Amino acid sequence: MGTQSKDNPVLLRIRDLRIEGSSEDQWTEIVRGVNLTLRKGEVLGLIGESGAGKSTIGLACMGFVRDGCRFSDGSIEFDGIDLRKASRAEARALRGKRIAYVAQSAAASFNPAHRLIDQYSEGPVFHGVMSRGEAESDAVELYRRMQLPNPNEIGFRYPHQVSGGQLQRAMTAMAMSCRPDLIIFDEPTTALDVTTQIEVLSAIRDIIRQFGTAAIYISHDLAVVAQMADRIKVLLRGEEVEEADTYAMLAQPREDYTKSLWAVRSHARPEQPPVTDGTPIVSVRNVTAGYGQTIILQDVGFDIHPRRTVAVVGESGSGKSTAARVITGLLPPSDGEVFFDGGLLPPDYRKRSRDQLRQIQMIYQMADTALNPKLRIRDLIGRPAQMYLGLKGRALDDRVRALLSLIELEPEEYLDRLPSELSGGQKQRIGIARALAAEPKFIICDEVTSALDQIVAEGILQLLERLQSEFDLGYMFITHDLSTVRAIADEVVVMKEGRVVEQGPKTEMFQPPHDPYTELLLSSVAEMDPDWLTNLLAQRAAT
Amino acid sequence: MANIWRMLAQRLGLGLVTLFVISLLIFGAAELLPGDFAQAVLGQSATEETVAAIRAEYGLDRPFHTRYVDWLGSALQGDFGQSLANRKPVADMIGDRLANTLFLALYAAAIAVPLSLMLGILAALFRNSIFDRSVNALALTSISFPEFFVAYILILWLAQSGLFPSISRFSVDLPLGQKLYNTFLPALTLTLVVTAHMMRMTRAAIINLLASPYIEMARLKGMPPFRVITRHALPNALAPIINVIALNLAYLITGVVVVEVVFVYPGLGQLMVDSVAKRDIPVVQAVALIFAAAYVLLNLTADVLSTLTNPRLMHRR
């Protein structure tokens, strides 16, 4: 966010870029005439939903296309070099040395076979920038600047020995190793918890400022991009929607599509009054559970009433999903009980009656892997209806059709499709229909919107809400995303390291005074204010 | 490292148990062969009395379990008993032959393993090119023909012209160069037979990884294709490759009877087949046990090497 960057010479100029991807022997255009100008030391944010072509454009800035894609038109000029006309060797000489890349999942993008410092040194040594010895001491220096713990030692670990947030910082350090002119950040914090995200964001911002590096920052999260970028470009299906200075863009988006991206975050349903009497549909009491010797949950307890949504929030590893496994009986607790509608549930699902099993259903984060790819929609939804309710023939068919209508998918069109013939949001809807098919009273939603774009996620949340009031369902909503909590929850349970830190009605939770950990979580959610990160860091430094 | 030693001890223990079970199977299987040594030796002149006399002489009339325990006890001390056919100690008969077999196996492996690794890497590097296709086609052709056929083709091309001998004269006191020259054709035959499998596994294991994000990362760091494959893909592909190599090495030790016969090479395989024909059970048992031990040992080595190449197993969190 160099303020003087407006007068700097142009570093990267992309004109009418067109890229095609092949699917089923046909070439379709996935980037459709994008222009882009980036000056030295400037940070440009690219934002859009999945399929907008963000990553493809980011890679194109390095003269790189993925296998199965090809440049079809346009020019990419980096510091006077035409990357489309450059030979492979010329392009390779730039990659890593003058243009570097930071990938979304550092855990997958570090080679599991080599130590971090070997991977750090590879680029500078290969490109002839430094000797091996120099590169190693430089690595330690940059690890220090990226605020990694034990900078002297951490490079000698293998990727699997380092946490996700630390790996992401190590990857940024690696991208810096040759002191490039430009770094492409491709969703570098999307896979991280909010609290970790802040650390990584501030480390990235500091280091690109220190070295005056230009950057392209790709994300689907507008609030995050706003912290990092001088300018923002909004993309939709491979085309530019609009581009503007970050402050101007946030204050007055011009295009309808951009406004709709903004609006998603403002959805919130009115909170239902807390239930004080009556039997909770599910009650978890003093549960302690774990795997083998490791204890994951410690003395956890909360109630969920019919027609209410309880959001269980916390960072990865806080025990949210383990709590769900205890309720479903997949993981019998070592201590404590789970009650359903006032009756004690057997700890092991194998000991539960078919009716008890029917009452508690789950919807999963990855609809992709939760649906059997070989079964047609008819069978995916039909099975539970057949198994739990004994429906057959015509009745079963009618039921499946009714369920499809409920989730707003046209039965005629979708009955005989395979999961692979559906979009991400549609798959998640099938996941919902499958849970509903059993006619449960209680549904556990495990990060059901985390893998979806904001607009699609919004549709899923509204559907869940409608179904809740229609069928008097109780929801346990596991999520790490606090804006989702704000949108759907009636009550909130905050978990940390296997314990419940705080719980209560949503409005109370979002208002001070908080437990310090809740406070940390809440304040870590990026806001639509370009100065949010700066102010927050200043605030935290002051206290 | 403590982990590795523990694993090694564990696997060795398991290997010994396996060998024990196999020894039972071998001994039992020999019992099941139709006819026995006495009948085979006497042939047409077998009367009940002569057969019984010979059985008594060789202790074949004792019950199964006592013979097994005796046999195992002395086998553990390196004494595999006496050949029934010529009364020589089995250990003596096997000793030279085992050395010969190991020599030929090592010779073939020394050509085949580097060759197939190199071809596999190059095929992965130039995947779907003419080079890749022709290497694959050649490898598949050579593996599809029966060994004796490959052997005879080689004899036709390389021995008839007098380039290499078609009979592999072999003795311990020949100079190494002479040994290598004399046994070149059987080694080449074996190489052709085992290369395809290892080469294709190398190629497949590498290509399997090329879609990984860390491979894309290496390319985005400006690394050239050959380095991407050897430094970034290969180290992660080693486990399946090592296992296939181990299986093929085991085959080189135990499965080469046909090639030995064609080239009249004095190896263990020929000895085994001859002894089966003569019902010379002690020799058959000893050779089978050696073959089993080779399999167990090679698989053990493959397991340990696969572990050593996997940082996730070597360096705990």
Q: Which residues of chain A are at the B interface, by a Cβ-Cβ cutoff of 8 Å?
A: 59, 62, 64, 66-67, 89, 92-97, 100-101, 103, 105, 108-114, 122-123, 126-127, 157-158, 160-161
Same domain, A472 and A325: yes
Span A209-226, mean pLDDT?
Answer: 88
pLDDT of residue A295: 84
A391 is a domain residue: no
Number of domains in chain B: 2
Segments in A111-193 forming alpha helices (H): 116-126, 132-145, 151-154, 164-176
pLDDT band at A265 (very low <50, low <70, confident <90, very high): low
Same domain, A298 and A181: no
Span B80-91, mean pLDDT?
Answer: 80
pLDDT of residue A48: 85
A417 is a domain residue: no
DSSP secondary-structure letter at A8?
S
pLDDT band at B35 (very low <50, low <70, confident <90, very high): low
8 Å CB contact of B317 and A161: yes
Q: Is the pLDDT of residue B111 over 90?
A: yes
Query: pTM for the whole thing?
Result: 0.80
pLDDT band at A357 (very low <50, low <70, confident <90, very high): very high
- Residues of chain B neighbouring A66 (CB-CB closer than 8 A): 216
Same domain, A251 and A359: no
Of A92, A103, A114, nearest to B213 by CB-CB distance is A103
Same domain, A303 and A250: no
Structure tokens at B234: 């290969």
Q: Tell me which of B46, B76, B106 is where a domain ends.
A: B76
Three state DSSP letters for A398-457: HHHHHHHHHCCCCHHHHCCCCHHHCCHHHHHHHHHHHHHHCCCCEEEEECCCCCCCHHHH
Closest CA to A22 of A67, A71, A65, A68: A68
The C-alpha of A45 sits at a distance from chain B's nearest C-alpha, in angstroms, of 20
Q: What is the Cα–Cα distance from A185 to A215, expressed in whole angstroms?
A: 7
pLDDT of residue A266: 58
A354 is a domain residue: yes
CB-CB contact of A247 with A231 (8 Å) = no
Same domain, B129 and B266: yes
Same domain, A256 and A290: no
Phi-psi domain of A64 (left: phi exceeds 0; alpha: psi -120 through 50; beta: other): beta
The C-alpha of A119 sits at a distance from chain B's nearest C-alpha, in angstroms, of 9
Q: Which domain holds residue A42?
A: 3-261
Closest CA to A522 of A340, A269, A311: A311
Of B217, B236, B317, nearest to A113 by CB-CB distance is B236
pLDDT of residue B317: 64
pLDDT band at B2 (very low <50, low <70, confident <90, very high): low
Same domain, B68 and B122: no
Worst-scoring range by mean pLDDT, A85-99, A439-453, B164-178? B164-178
- Residues of chain A neighbouring B231 (CB-CB closer than 8 A): 122
Closest CA to A302 of A416, A409, A185, A444: A444
B48 is a domain residue: yes
Biggest alpha carbon–alpha carbon distance for chain B? 85
A542 is a domain residue: no
Same domain, B208 and B304: yes
Same domain, A207 and A342: no
The C-alpha of A395 sits at a distance from chain B's nearest C-alpha, in angstroms, of 46
Span A167-184, mean pLDDT?
Answer: 91
Closest CA to A227 of A250, A207, A258: A250
Q: Which residues of B150-179 are buried (b: 16+ CB within 10 A; e: fewer)?
A: bbbebbeebbeeeebbbebebeeeeeeeeb
B191 is a domain residue: yes
CB-CB contact of A190 with A103 (8 Å) = no
Same domain, B48 and B182: no
Same domain, B57 and B175: no
Q: Which residues are bridge partners to A492 per DSSP?
A: A311, A504
Structure tokens at A457: 């996620």
pLDDT band at B234 (very low <50, low <70, confident <90, very high): very high
Overall residue count recorded for chain A in this entry: 543
Cβ-based neighbours of A370, under 8 Å, separated by 6 or more: A363, A364, A431
Q: Is the pLDDT of residue B84 over 80?
A: no
- % of chain A exceeding 90 in pLDDT: 32
Same domain, B166 and B261: yes
A411 is a domain residue: no
8 Å CB contact of A112 and B236: yes
B14 is a domain residue: yes
Q: Is the pLDDT of residue A193 over 90?
A: no
Closest CA to A186 of A224, A150, A151, A157: A224
Span A379-403, mean pLDDT?
Answer: 91
Biggest alpha carbon–alpha carbon distance for chain A? 75
Q: What is the Cα–Cα distance from A261 to A258, expressed in whole angstroms?
A: 5
Number of domains in chain A: 2
**Which three-class secondary structure state does DSSP give residue A339?**
strand
DSSP secondary-structure letter at A7?
G
Q: Is the pLDDT of residue A442 over 90?
A: yes
Q: What is the Cα–Cα distance from B9 to B19, expressed in whole angstroms?
A: 15
Q: Which domain holds residue B147?
A: 97-314
pLDDT band at A2 (very low <50, low <70, confident <90, very high): very low
Same domain, B170 and B240: yes
Of B213, B235, B309, nearest to A105 by CB-CB distance is B213
Same domain, B246 and B106: yes
The complex scores an ipTM of 0.81
8 Å CB contact of B214 and A160: no
Same domain, A204 and A88: yes
- % of chain B exceeding 90 in pLDDT: 30
- Average per-residue pLDDT in chain A? 87
Same domain, B236 and B185: yes
Three state DSSP letters for A294-307: EEEEEEEEEEECCC
Q: What is the Cα–Cα distance from A389 to A383, expressed in whole angstroms?
A: 10
Same domain, A254 and A290: no
DSSP secondary-structure letter at A84?
T
Task: Give the phi and the psi of residue A350 in degrees, each rounded to 5.
Answer: -70, -20
Q: Is the pLDDT of residue B217 over 90?
A: yes
Same domain, B186 and B292: yes
The pLDDT tens digits of the residues spanning A118-170 come to 999 999 999 998 999 999 999 999 898 888 888 888 899 999 888 888 888 89
Q: List the strands of the sheet with A491-496, edge to edge.
A: A360-363, A442-446, A474-479, A309-313, A491-496, A499-505
Look at the block and give the residue holding tokens 């993008």: A109
Q: Which residues are bridge partners to A475 per DSSP?
A: A309, A443
Worst-scoring range by mean pLDDT, A3-12, A29-38, A117-126, A227-236? A3-12
Q: Which residues are bridge partners to A288 per DSSP?
A: A335
DSSP secondary-structure letter at A35?
E
Question: Could you give the count of Cα atoms lying within 13 Å of B132 in the half-sphere of its Cβ?
Answer: 14
Question: Could you give the count of Cα atoms lying within 13 Å of A303 in the half-sphere of its Cβ?
Answer: 15
CATH of the domain at B231: 1.10.3720.10
B81 is a domain residue: no
Worst-scoring range by mean pLDDT, A263-277, A504-518, B202-216? A263-277
Of B214, B223, B316, nearest to A109 by CB-CB distance is B214
Q: What is the Cα–Cα distance from A328 to A444, expressed in whole angstroms?
A: 9
Structure tokens at A370: 């939760």
Q: Is the pLDDT of residue A276 over 80?
A: no
The C-alpha of B137 sits at a distance from chain A's nearest C-alpha, in angstroms, of 25
Q: What is the Cα–Cα distance from A57 to A53, expressed in whole angstroms?
A: 6
Closest CA to A524 of A197, A86, A256, A204: A197
CA geometry: angle A68, A72, A77, nearest 5 deg: 110
CATH of the domain at A350: 3.40.50.300
Q: Which residues are bridge partners to A14 per DSSP?
A: A36, A76
Q: Is the pLDDT of residue A1 over 50?
A: no
pLDDT of residue B118: 94
**Which three-class secondary structure state does DSSP give residue B170?**
coil
Q: Distances in Å between the alpha carbon of A343 and those of A404, A435, A437, B110?
A: 32, 22, 23, 71
Same domain, A160 and A302: no
Same domain, A252 and A312: no
Q: Is the pLDDT of residue A246 over 90?
A: no
A350 is a domain residue: yes
The pLDDT tens digits of the residues spanning A477-498 come to 998 888 788 888 888 999 888 8
Overall residue count recorded for chain B in this entry: 317
Same domain, B137 and B49: no
Cβ-based neighbours of A93, under 8 Å, separated by 6 or more: A127, B222
Interface test with chain B among A56, A59, A78, A109, by most B beta carbons within 10 Å: A109
pLDDT of residue A267: 59
Structure tokens at B25: 């199977």
Same domain, A308 and A242: no
Same domain, B64 and B126: no
Same domain, A27 and A149: yes
Phi-psi domain of A100 (left: phi exceeds 0; alpha: psi -120 through 50; beta: other): beta
A185 is a domain residue: yes
pLDDT of residue A420: 83
CA geometry: angle B235, A162, A536, nearest 5 deg: 140
Q: What is the Cα–Cα distance from A325 to A319, expressed in whole angstroms?
A: 10
- In this structure, the strands spanning A26-39 and A182-186 are unpaired
The C-alpha of A513 sits at a distance from chain B's nearest C-alpha, in angstroms, of 38
Q: Is the pLDDT of residue A434 over 90?
A: yes
- What's the one-letter identity of residue B151? A
Q: Is the pLDDT of residue A264 over 70?
A: no
B236 is a domain residue: yes
A390 is a domain residue: no
